[in-house]
Structure 1
Amino acid sequence: MSIGIYGVGFVGKEVAELAVERGRSVACVDVDPSVVERIEAEEYLAVGDHERVSATTDGAAVAAEADTCLVTVPTPVDRAERVDLGPLRAASETIAEGLRSRDAPEPCLVVVESTIPPGTARREIAEVFDTYGLELGTDYYLAAVPERVDPGNEAWPLERIPRVVGALSEPGLERATAFYDNLLDAEVHPVDSVEIAEVSKIVENAFRDINIAFANEIAVSLDSLDVDARSAIEAAATKPFGFMSFDPGAGVGGHCIPVDPHLLIGEAEDAGFTHELLTVARTINSRMPEYVADMTVDALTRERVLPQDATALLLGRAFKPDLADDRNSPYFGVREGLADYDVTVETYDPILAAESSVDSPYQPVDAVVVVTDHEAFADLDPERFAELGVSTVVDGRDAFDAEAVEAAGLRYEAVGEV
């Protein structure tokens, strides 16, 4: 079985590696020639058998030969926070062009793993295929199987994560379910419609966004009441049912949680429904980087350091610990918030060393601000900070021991802690 993978970013890369590990032949399609070159040079994919891998920018040629086409292109939101389906439409047109010249006894299985609003497969992709004269069930099957990749999570590699499958037809559902049954070591859950599958991914991440927003709002609220929010959440979590614990922090980053709720908010708005809860949750979480910046300036002021005379070192640029990915990272909001106060900002991230402005966490700055709790930060020495003139540590991730920081003579402020 040959598989064409359209878009070899964070998701497509992991899918390609797993498919090769399972003995499949994979043709990687990407619009970026440098990605294609790195794949061909055997520098991009972590696979043992590179003979099973090819790469090209000619997606139509791949679709003309492949048994299965997996679409893993990005679906970002624009400045108006509406989904940009441009990459998805482009991939669909490329695949359609290839399918039109395909000569095979069985229809090609086309699967969208990209996160998309409900109705997109039926309304956008199937209509593109229709304009190319393709027939569902004769030329192609179309399914939605939202990705569930968690980069850096060794406990849940791709092959162990259950998947939801929806399709436009019963034969397509059977074909897609069989494909993932063979690819994964996890349960595959077929659902009654392609729209259910599409929206399931958004529901998953909107749930997390809402609960993180609740934890963040509790943290800000209890800070004004001089109550330790993290301890309160830990106390609530002793209840063995009806409660799920989420931690407050400097903000939410990545391509999923900050983005996916907007796909449902916008689609529902077009249908005349306003998502109040999802919108409020996005607002709360989006404000947390600014809150951390305000905390930092307030702490510096209490230490008699004027913002315009201060330098702050941000620890962590990545959105997730020990992952070289800064998409939608809270770091950017914290940096901009401090810049609004004319604070000079330096950056140190051992995982994104090329993006760091300094090569060590030990710098003669006024404040150290934890944005990402990389494992490397766990062993940092507050006494060395003090020796360099640091007066304040602002902890956005509960990364430091408060007593150790204060024992070194430093002011310690943390999100959700008193």
Structure 2
Amino acid sequence: MRRLAVFGLGYVGSEVAMLASERGFEVTGVDTDSTVVQAAQDAPLTTSERFTATTDGAAAVTGADTVVVTVPTPIDSSFSVDLSALQAVCETVATGLPESPGGTLVVVESTIPPGTVSDIVAPAFEDLGHVPGQDVQLAHAPERIDPGNDEWSLAEIPRVVGADNDSGLDAAVTFYERLLDASIHPVSSTAAAAASKIIENAYRDINIAFVNEIATTLEQLGIDTTEVLDAADTKPFGFTRFSPGAGVGGHCIPIDPYFLIEKATSKDLNSRFLETAREINDKMPRYVADKTIHYLVRSGRLPQHASVLLLGKAFKPDIPDTRNSPYFPIRTALETYDVSIHTYDPLLPSESTVESPYQPVDAVVLVTDHEAFRGLDPERLADRGVEVVVDGRNVLDADAIRAAGLRYAGVGRP
């Protein structure tokens, strides 16, 4: 297993391709977007000569003994998962599948609902005469890449691997033992592996929703949520700290719970915790926008005559990734008040409308906790005419902001 085809050259696929080529695999990256493939050829993901890129998926599979699938599995406007890209890739792989002793290993790393491998992936191969467990080995190893996390690289993150037969599981475990330095945790089925990924992110979603709800309650009671969390966090056991904020973004936390919600609904079951958490977290961008308008009005500014600078467009600190960022619903909510809106993100200069956080605006709203914003100078903000600072991540120095004569508003902070 030294010839690898990686389908999908986004955040996950590019990392897998880069690591595999560095580990001695001959890697072919596959993407349907010719501009992505051209970029990979012009500026390779790795300096290794063992990496190439193409749009010809069937040809890439013909020369591979292992295939890793990392295509997107988004949700649509009705919160139903769209598996069309995954199905298309499986049909392409099945078309190009070579005869191989023991069968070609095909691993789905894309996040999927439980049952997807048996219901969608396996039939794509069976329809072309391939027998899972014989001439193709199917497995699921949910991706665990954390963009921007220097402490945990892809090679160091333990992986869950599942398959629906022993030969598939053995092949997948062997592959990841060669690819990673981390431990491999095998599970009994692809469905169990899929469920583990959903639970990982639903756990975070539910706990973030809990502190968001607590924050809005404590604020109405005149209690500072940050002070309360600092106090609770002194307990050395039985408490894990999560922080309230302007909203949850990214490709995992706000998406993955719907995979299980949809499955539960198909079995006439409910997922009240998951649904409630999604509802609470989805309301936080509107909460931040409304708070901004409230403080502008308190400062004597009518919304239709006010200007607001949104700091940060990315969904998490210090990465240039805007997928499902709370920036977008915050902006939409502010636009309903006819506010003039500006944007500044130092990691996304081409998507910024201004060149610094110090602008002649009425209010500044911290959306993303970039390190560059931690040292925001309240005096410089005041000199530019700023009157309100809304801290959507509770990381700014509230006392310094107030000392500069500005109104400070945090999440769950009266």
Report how far residue 75 of structure 1 moved: 0.3
Q: Once the two structures are superposed, what CA deviation does each residue of 1:185-230 show, in whole Å capped at 9, x if it has no partner?
A: 1110001111100111000000000000001111111111110111
Distance 2:266 2:24 in 1: 44
Is 1:19 aligned to 2:20, yes or no?
yes
Report how far residue 86 of structure 1 moved: 0.5
Is 1:167 aligned to 2:163, yes or no?
yes
Cα 1:220–1:44 shift into 2, 3 Å: farther
Distance 1:136 1:384 in 2: 64
Q: Once the two structures are superposed, what CA deviation does each residue of 1:273-324 show, in whole Å capped at 9, x if it has no partner?
A: 1111100000000000000000000001111111111000000000011100
- Of 132-141 and 293-302, more deviation after overlay is shown by 132-141
Q: Once the two structures are superposed, what CA deviation does each residue of 1:119-161 show, in whole Å capped at 9, x if it has no partner?
A: 0001100011111110122210000000000000000000010
Alpha carbons 2:213, 2:280 under 8 Å: kept: yes
Task: Report the secondary structure of 2:36's partner residue.
Answer: helix
**2:392 corresponds to:** 396
**2:239 corresponds to:** 243
**1:348 corresponds to:** 344
Report how far residue 360 of structure 1 moved: 1.3
**2:64 corresponds to:** 66
When the two structures are superposed, what TM-score results if normalisation uses the length of structure 2? 0.99
Q: Once the two structures are superposed, what CA deviation does each residue of 1:160-204 show, in whole Å capped at 9, x if it has no partner?
A: 100001002101101101111111111100011111001110000
Unaligned runs of 5+ in 2: none
**2:285 corresponds to:** 289
**1:193 corresponds to:** 189
Q: Which aligned runs of 4 or more in structure 1 are off by greater than 6 angstroms?
A: none
Alpha carbons 1:163, 1:189 under 8 Å: kept: yes
Distance 1:379 1:274 in 2: 45
Amino acid at match of 1:40: Q
Task: Report the secondary structure of 1:400's partner residue.
Answer: coil
Amino acid at match of 1:164: V
Q: Once the two structures are superposed, what CA deviation does each residue of 1:81-122 show, in whole Å capped at 9, x if it has no partner?
A: 0000010001000000011xx133230000000000000001
Identity within the alignment, %: 56
Distance 1:338 1:193 in 2: 46
**2:319 corresponds to:** 323
Distance 2:376 2:231 in 1: 28
Of 66, 75, 78, the match for 2:76: 78
Distance 1:331 1:163 in 2: 31
Distance 2:232 2:262 in 1: 34
Amino acid at match of 1:227: I
Alpha carbons 2:101, 2:135 under 8 Å: kept: no
Report how far residue 416 of structure 1 moved: 2.4
Is 1:406 aligned to 2:402, yes or no?
yes
Task: Report the secondary structure of 2:374's partner residue.
Answer: helix
Q: Once the two structures are superposed, what CA deviation does each residue of 1:44-79 show, in whole Å capped at 9, x if it has no partner?
A: 51x231x10111111111112211000000000000
Alpha carbons 1:35, 1:44 under 8 Å: kept: no
- Of 232-241 and 345-354, more deviation after overlay is shown by 232-241
Task: Report the secondary structure of 1:190's partner residue.
Answer: strand
Amino acid at match of 1:23: G
Unaligned runs of 5+ in 1: none
Task: Report the secondary structure of 1:154's partner residue.
Answer: coil
Distance 1:281 1:379 in 2: 32
Task: Report the secondary structure of 1:28's partner residue.
Answer: strand
**1:154 corresponds to:** 150
Task: Report the secondary structure of 1:368's partner residue.
Answer: strand
Distance 1:331 1:270 in 2: 33
1:76-155 correspondence runs (5 A): 76-99=74-97, 102-155=98-151
**1:205 corresponds to:** 201
Distance 1:132 1:90 in 2: 14
- Of 397-406 and 141-150, more deviation after overlay is shown by 397-406
Distance 1:138 1:175 in 2: 12
Distance 1:230 1:14 in 2: 36
**1:260 corresponds to:** 256
Distance 2:220 2:20 in 1: 52
Alpha carbons 2:217, 2:412 under 8 Å: kept: no
Alpha carbons 1:141, 1:168 under 8 Å: kept: no
Alpha carbons 1:164, 1:188 under 8 Å: kept: yes
**1:48 corresponds to:** 47
**2:331 corresponds to:** 335
**1:311 corresponds to:** 307
Task: Report the secondary structure of 1:379's partner residue.
Answer: coil
Amino acid at match of 2:254: P
Distance 1:155 1:417 in 2: 31
- Of 54-63 and 149-158, more deviation after overlay is shown by 54-63
Distance 1:232 1:244 in 2: 13
**2:222 corresponds to:** 226
**1:6 corresponds to:** 7
Superposed CA RMSD: 0.8
When the two structures are superposed, what TM-score results if normalisation uses the length of structure 1? 0.98
Distance 1:328 1:59 in 2: 29
Distance 1:400 1:221 in 2: 21
